[in-house]
Amino acid sequence: MSQEAGMFSAGDVVSSHSPSFGKELTVEELPLPADFAWGTATAAYQVEGGISADGKGKSIWDTYAHLEPSRTNGENADVTCDHYHLVPEDVELMSSLDVDVYRFSIAWSRIIPLGGRNDPINEKGIAFYNDLIDRLLARNIEPVVTLYHWDAPQGIYDRYTALLDTAEFQADFKHYASLCFSRFGDRVKKWVTFNEPYIISIFAHLNGTLAPGHCRAVGTDTKTEPWRVGHTVILSHATVVEMYMADFFPTQKGQISIVLNGHFYEPYDTTSQIHIDAAQRRLVFYIGWFGDPVFLGQDYPPEMRAYLGSRLPEFTAEERELLQRTAKFNAFYGMNHYTTKYARALTDPPADDDWTGNIEELAVNSQGQEAGPVSGIAWLRAAPGGFRKLLNWVWDRYHLPVIVTENGCPCPGEDDVETAVDDKYRQMYFGLYLDAISRAIYEDGVKVEGYYAWSLMDNYEWSAGYGPRFGIVHVDFKTLKRTPKNSAYYLKESFQKRRKATK
Average pLDDT value for residue range 236-255: 98
To the nearest 10 degrees (0 to 180), the angle between helices 197-205 and 225-243 is: 150
**3 located within any domain:** no
Q: Which residues contact 91 (CB under 8 A, 6 or more apart)?
A: 102, 132, 135, 136, 139, 141
CA distances from 253 to 53, 243, 248, 249, 331 (A): 33, 13, 8, 5, 11
Mean pLDDT across the stretch 197-215? 98
Q: Are 295 and 400 within 8 A, CB to CB?
A: yes
Segment 79-102 shows an average pLDDT of 98
Per the domain annotation, does 1 fall within a domain?
no
Higher-pLDDT residue of 4, 233: 233
Q: How confident is the model at residue 4 (pLDDT cuts 50, 70, 90)?
A: very low
In this prediction, residues 122-129 reach a mean pLDDT of 98
Extended beta strands in 55-187, E state: 101-105, 142-148
Residue 357 lies in a domain: yes
Q: What is the pLDDT of residue 382?
A: 98
Q: Which of the residues are catalytic?
A: 196, 406
CA distance linking residue 330 with residue 335, whole number of Å: 13
* Boundaries of domain holding 421: 13-500
- DSSP for residue 136: H
For residues 12-24, average pLDDT: 45
- Residue 101 CA to its chain's centroid (Å): 15
Question: DSSP for 177-245?
Answer: HHHHHHHHTTT--EEEEEE-HHHHHHHHHTS--STT---GGGT--TTTHHHHHHHHHHHHHHHHHHHII
Inside any domain, residue 46? yes
Q: Average pLDDT of 399-403?
A: 98
Domain-embedded: residue 7: no
Mean pLDDT of all residues in the chain? 95
Q: What pLDDT score was predicted for residue 12?
A: 58
DSSP assignments along 411-472, one per residue: PS--SSHHHHH--HHHHHHHHHHHHHHHHHHHTT---EEEEEEE-SS----GGGTTSS---S
pTM for the full predicted model: 0.96
Compute the CA torsion angle 356, 359, 364, 366 (nearest 10 deg). -170
Q: Name the phi and psi angles at 451, rounded to 5.
A: -145, 120
Give, to the nearest 10 degrees, the angle between helix 424-442 and helix 486-500. 20
Which amino acid, residue 309?
G
pLDDT digits (tens, 9 = 90+) for 248-262: 999 999 999 999 999
What is the rounded radius of gyration, in angstroms, for the C-alpha atoms of the chain? Answer: 22
Could you tell me if 342 and 276 are in contact, meaning their C-beta atoms sit under 8 angstroms apart?
no
| pLDDT score, position 40 | 98
User: Per-residue pLDDT for 355 more than 80?
Assistant: yes
419 part of a folded domain: yes
- The whole-number average pLDDT for the span 385-401 is 98
Strand partners, 431: none
Q: What percent of the chain has pLDDT over 90?
A: 93
- Res. 23: pLDDT tops 60: no
Per-residue pLDDT, 22: 41
Amino acid 502: pLDDT: 84
**216 or 500, which is more confident:** 216
Across 407-421, average pLDDT: 91
Does the structure show a pLDDT above 60 at 448?
yes
Q: How many domains does the chain have?
A: 1
Judge contact between 437 and 32, C-beta under 8 A: yes
Q: What is the DSSP string of 274-317?
A: HHHHHHHHHHIIIIIHHHHHHHH--PSPHHHHHHHGGGSPPPPH
Per-residue pLDDT tens digits for 278-294: 999 999 999 999 999 99
Task: Report the amino acid identity of residue 147.
Answer: L
pLDDT at 5: 34
Rounded distance between C-alpha atoms, residue 172 and residue 320, angstroms: 21
Classify each residue of 307-343 as buried b or exposed e, where b means 16 or more C-beta atoms within 10 Å of its C-beta. bbeebbbebeeebeebbeebbebbbbbbbbbbbbbbb
317-326 and 225-243 are packed helices; what angle lies between their axes, rounded to 10 degrees? 50
- Work out the pLDDT band at 20, boundaries 50, 70, 90: very low
Chain segment 170-185, per-residue pLDDT in tens: 999 999 999 999 999 9
Look at residue 500 in the predicted model and tell me its pLDDT: 86
On the question of pLDDT at 1 being above 80, the answer is no
DSSP letter for each residue of 12-55 = -EEEEEETTTEEEEE-------TT-EEEEE--HHHH---TTGGG
Give me the percent of the chain exceeding a pLDDT of 70. 95
Q: What pLDDT score does 323 carry?
A: 98
346 in a structural domain:
yes
β pairing state of 37-41 and 101-105 = parallel
- What average pLDDT does this structure show over 155-163? 98
Q: Between residues 32 and 23, which one has the greater pLDDT?
A: 32
* pLDDT at residue 487 greater than cutoff 90: yes
Q: Which of 401, 468, 409 is nearest to 440 (CA)?
A: 401
Does residue 128 register a pLDDT over 60? yes
Q: Do the domain assignments include residue 143?
A: yes
Read off the CATH number of the domain in which 208 is found: 3.20.20.80
Give 45-70 pLDDT, tens digit per residue: 999 999 999 999 999 999 999 999 99
- Name the 3-class secondary structure at 268: coil
